[in-house]
Structure 1
Amino acid sequence: MLSGLGLDETCGAVYQAVLFSPGGATPDGIAADLRVPVAEVRDGLARLRELGLVRPIFEAAGAFRAVSPAVGFAPLIARAEAEASARSRAVAAARAHVEEMASRFGTAPHDRGGDSAVLLGEAEAWEAVQQVAEDVKTCVRVFAAAGPAPGLSAENYDPAHRLAVRAVERGAEVRLIVLDSVRSAPDVLEGVRWMSSKGVTVRSVPALPAWMFLVDDSYTLMALDPAGYRAGVIAFRAPGPMAAARDLFDRRWAAGCCLGEDPEPAEERPTAQQNEVLRLLAEGAKDEAVARCMGVSTRTVRRLIADIGERLGAESRFQIAVRATERGWLR
């Protein structure tokens, strides 16, 4: 109870032992009463004497008498109150300084440009992605494209998974679109299923253009380079780009499959992956670009193209395009 005034437990007990011994108390007697070593009692008495709480009785060698609590503790209490007041003023000053810095700096990197687009490098990109889980109020919509999340230095999705669950725990709806290719990546699929078990709504599609985070209808973060996680992100709030990002997400979400569903349609139609390959090839994308967009290897893309050619009886990519259009696979 007296630690706030500079007395430890032993000193407090020794003081009370002396206080309740009107005729005075000796170290040996106090040690016997408290059942502590006499050396500790002597140290306690020395500290109490230093603080002006006990005085030696000169007519009784080795004995001590307590100074009245009202008199002895008054200066200690006054000093403690002064220190507490000074500490309180220091904390208030520090709070004001932090608030002033925050008003000049912005609450997060993506806030610095208002409605203007803001480019953030690798370090700030991950800071901004982390801030998403704290900013979201109703819903965050995420494209989990191929490769690591912006700002992460390795193809490790766990930190992003934890952020998604953090947003759910704060009461937000999280809609996550992943690539169909995660179904053949056990480690990644395990993380996606863990998020789903925690309340994240997940759908998969054959391909995604880039990592994207659409936070409420407030702002969007989008990877600058789909092939380079170190390039950072672009953050924007302007209504036009926000509407385009929302439309892009909603279209992919409507076309996506839940994890428990088969992403491949009926046998007479191309699979979802084959359909995406056809679309990207028709746009002139090279095999490497198709592979990056779909989160698969170039070898897988070439196998898909070969399978399409076999189904269509086509021997070249030109013939594939023609016959796919004839069958209504390409529009």
Structure 2
Amino acid sequence: MREIGEIDATTSQVYRLRVTHATEPVERIAVRAGMTPQDVEAAELRLAGLGLLQPAPGGGWAAVSPETAADTLLATAQKEVLEQQTAIAATRARLHALTGVYLEARSLRSDKGSIEIIEGIDNIRSVMDDLARHCSSSLDVLVPGGGLAEAAIRTSARLDEETLARGVRMRTLFQHAARKHLPTARYAAQISAAGARIRTTGVLPSRMLITDNESAVLPADPENQAAGVVLVRDPAVLGFLCRLFEHHWDRGLDFTAEEQENGPEPTQLERDVLLLLAAGKKNDVIAHQLGLSPRSVSRIVAHLMDRLGANSRFQAGVRAAMNGWLS
């Protein structure tokens, strides 16, 4: 029904006079109120529309209490609300009747030896939602690249806070470049405040999500997101993926840690650059693998060569190894 707006002073005054002077003609009410008869008639029509005035048997209007008017006016709306609540309850009951079917099917899908390919964006979202809802102890995530899209951040932040509120331990590992991505940095601060642990590292092999150390989700093709995802529950494969996450997590830096640009030891980012430099990688390859811009890599390489007193990239690698920086 249409929402009733504020009752203005004119309407309220006419209502008051009609309660005390029910049988008086409009002209007399107008004199008492200091209004024109037309203003009084307009107010009476508004009051009648609200059920506060009803036609009297002998002519004119009879004032009705606000409680009675409300009961009459809202009876239809209350009936509609009751019918909607009944329909909602019936629909909920019909859906809940399938809970047993769902749990049975889910147990079959959760076969400990399974590796399943999930295709189609709707199917992928359904699986991810199911994993998030049933995650009870831990959530570990690898996020390669320079940062998250803002749309993904808006969705993830709310779900992550709900997950953390259930007491789930959450660890997320970004690449170092994410530190320079302001939306991702804000997201990291937000969920860190809610209890998550956030780190960054140099090289990450692939996007990955592990829930409760019981299931993992990987892209079917890291270069083609439309290819779907792989849902892994096989104990042997899952154990390897958990160890892979721990390997990269142990090498990561807390997102809030300040990276020192000078000093006798290289930062973790500089060490990653040195390792790739020593392997003979060019700056553009290093930039791609570390999720940095080629310009940033060139600056880091120049800074390292200056610190090492090296005249070539090969010499920089040798001196870094002699200093123990590559171990």
Q: Quick check: 2:213–2:238 contact (8 Å CA) kept in 1?
A: yes
Q: Quick check: 2:153–2:184 contact (8 Å CA) kept in 1?
A: no
**Identity score, percent:** 21
Deviation (angstroms), 1:83: 3.8
Match of 1:253 in 2: 249
State the alpha-carbon separation in 1 of the partners of residues 27 and 167 from structure 2: 64
Of the structure 1 ranges 80-89 and 66-75, higher mean CA displacement relative to structure 2 is found in: 66-75
Deviation (angstroms), 1:189: 7.0
Q: Summarize deviations over 1:261-284 as a string: whole Å, max 9, x none.
A: 6599965999531465389x69xx
Q: Summarize deviations over 1:200-258 as a string: whole Å, max 9, x none.
A: 32222221111112233353322333334444433344444433332221222222222
Find the residue that maps to 1:227 and give its secondary structure.
coil
State the alpha-carbon separation in 1 of the partners of residues 86 and 29 from structure 2: 42
Q: Quick check: 1:145–1:293 contact (8 Å CA) kept in 2?
A: no
2:230 equivalent among 216, 234, 249: 234
Q: Quick check: 1:180–1:206 contact (8 Å CA) kept in 2?
A: yes
Q: Summarize deviations over 1:152-188 as a string: whole Å, max 9, x none.
A: 6x9x7744763545644565432121223445x3547
State the alpha-carbon separation in 2 of the partners of residues 286 and 25 from structure 1: 98
Q: Quick check: 1:105–1:112 contact (8 Å CA) kept in 2?
A: no
Match of 2:138 in 1: 139
Match of 1:277 in 2: 276
State the alpha-carbon separation in 2 of the partners of residues 103 and 307 from structure 1: 68
Change (3 A) 1:7 1:47: farther
Q: Does 1:208 align with 2:210?
A: no
Match of 1:309 in 2: 314
Find the residue that maps to 1:209 and give its secondary structure.
coil
Q: Summarize deviations over 1:86-129 as a string: whole Å, max 9, x none.
A: 233233234345556888889xxx99944442414456656766
Deviation (angstroms), 1:82: 4.2
Match of 1:57 in 2: 58
Find the residue that maps to 1:146 and give its secondary structure.
coil
Q: Quick check: 2:53–2:62 contact (8 Å CA) kept in 1?
A: no
Q: Summarize deviations over 1:54-79 as a string: whole Å, max 9, x none.
A: 32525xxxx33458999999977865
Find the residue that maps to 2:56 and give its secondary structure.
strand
| Structure 2 residues not aligned, in runs of 5+ | 306-310
TM-score (normalizing by structure 2):
0.61
| Structure 1 residues not aligned, in runs of 5+ | 315-323
CA RMSD of aligned residues (A): 5.6
Of the structure 1 ranges 162-171 and 220-229, higher mean CA displacement relative to structure 2 is found in: 162-171
Match of 1:175 in 2: 171
State the alpha-carbon separation in 1 of the partners of residues 32 and 97 from structure 2: 58
Match of 2:308 in 1: none
AA aligned opposite 1:211: R
The total of aligned residue pairs comes to: 301
TM-score (normalizing by structure 1):
0.60
Change (3 A) 1:119 1:186: closer
AA aligned opposite 1:217: N
Map 1:44-193 onto structure 2 (within 5 A).
44=46, 47=49, 53-58=54-59, 63-65=60-62, 82-96=79-93, 99=96, 113-115=109-111, 116=114, 117-122=116-121, 125=124, 136-146=135-145, 158-159=153-154, 162-163=157-158, 164=160, 167-168=163-164, 171-183=167-179, 185=180, 187=182, 190-191=185-186
Find the residue that maps to 1:252 and give its secondary structure.
helix
Deviation (angstroms), 1:143: 0.8
State the alpha-carbon separation in 2 of the partners of residues 226 and 220 from structure 1: 15
Q: Quick check: 2:153–2:187 contact (8 Å CA) kept in 1?
A: no
AA aligned opposite 1:42: E
1:295 equivalent among 281, 284, 291: 291
